Amino acid sequence: MTSISGKIDPVVRRVSVADIAESLGQGLRDFQAAPLFGLAFAGLYVAGGILILLSLTAFGMVYLAYPLAAGFALLGPFVAVGLYEVSRQREAGEAPSMRGIWATIRARREIGWMAFVTLFVFLVWMYQVRLLIAVLLGLHASFSSLPEFITVVLTTNEGLVFLALGNLIGAALSLVLFSLTVVSFPLLLDRDVDAVTAMITSVRAVVMSPLPMIGWAAVIVVLLAVSSLPYFLGLLVTLPVLGHATWHLFRRIVVPLGPGEDAAPLPTLRSPAPG
């Protein structure tokens, strides 16, 4: 089969729970070998989350903190692109560098389209939360504090319906985005394919190994949710490990290129001219 760009489609293999466990171990080793890169990328993610929370507080919308924390995890695959590149560089025997990471990501223009898909799903999540609040809790519902919002949600019929529907919709959106991105971002770093082919390959990977891959999605959700509780600070460790592990799982899912097949061209980093 060929992709819409005329190239041969990536070949997908089945994976097992053992593959996921081994990928997690490899992800932890990558983080231990290059912790500064993991802390830097996770730090940007954490800082963004804290900034948004402070903004919600300033605008009197602190009640959106819980759905924001739940939806913020949807942006994880895009934020982890730099971590995938660190693992790719280490795998190739190269010394990871921020300059090399940035140059590679800039050269992969299709990653921009995947970033758009990720951001679009996140915006859909936040808009549906606000819609559910308006429909179920009142068109002009406003809460002065997070505890007040939680009390209404947990002690009223409308609040319980909001909680159930919100979690169901959130789970569906998370599964859709996971299926579209779990392989696509690493694939776009690894070789010259278009974003549509990358997303199709990612969905094929989930369909081919549904139980292990859904299990992997559940592990990601639980770890990110728990790590987000103390002002996102737990993500400083969790996000790098999961990001590196996703790269190694990708390597187990997508068959490597054979002899004579071309990977995506990498940018050449030139040393500055003397003098």
Q: Find out whether 63 and 7 touch, Cβ atoms under 8 Å.
A: no
The Cα–Cα gap between 269 and 217 comes to 36
Identify the band that residue 269 occupies on the pLDDT scale cut at 50, 70 and 90: very low
How many DSSP H helices and E strands does the chain contain? 13, 0
- C-alpha to C-alpha distances, 204 to 64, 74, 131, 207, nearest whole angstrom: 34, 20, 32, 5
| Range in 150-154, 221-225, 226-230, 234-238 with the lowest mean pLDDT | 226-230
CB-CB contact of 195 with 217 (8 Å): no
Do the Cβ atoms of 182 and 206 come closer than 8 Å?
yes
Query: Does the pLDDT of residue 14 top 90, yes or no?
Result: yes
**Of 147-151, 192-196, 235-239, 263-267, where does mean pLDDT reach its minimum?**
263-267
Structure tokens at 104: 């590679």
38 pLDDT higher than 50: yes
Asked whether the predicted pLDDT for residue 70 surpasses 90, the reply is no
Q: Does residue 111 or residue 130 have the better pLDDT?
A: 111
Output the pTM of the full model. Answer: 0.83
pLDDT mean across residues, the chain: 84
Q: Compute φ and ψ for 220, nearest 5 degrees.
A: -60, -45
Res. 203 pLDDT band, cuts 50 70 90: very high
Q: Which residue has the higher pLDDT, 169 or 71?
A: 169
The token pair at 67 is 């759905």
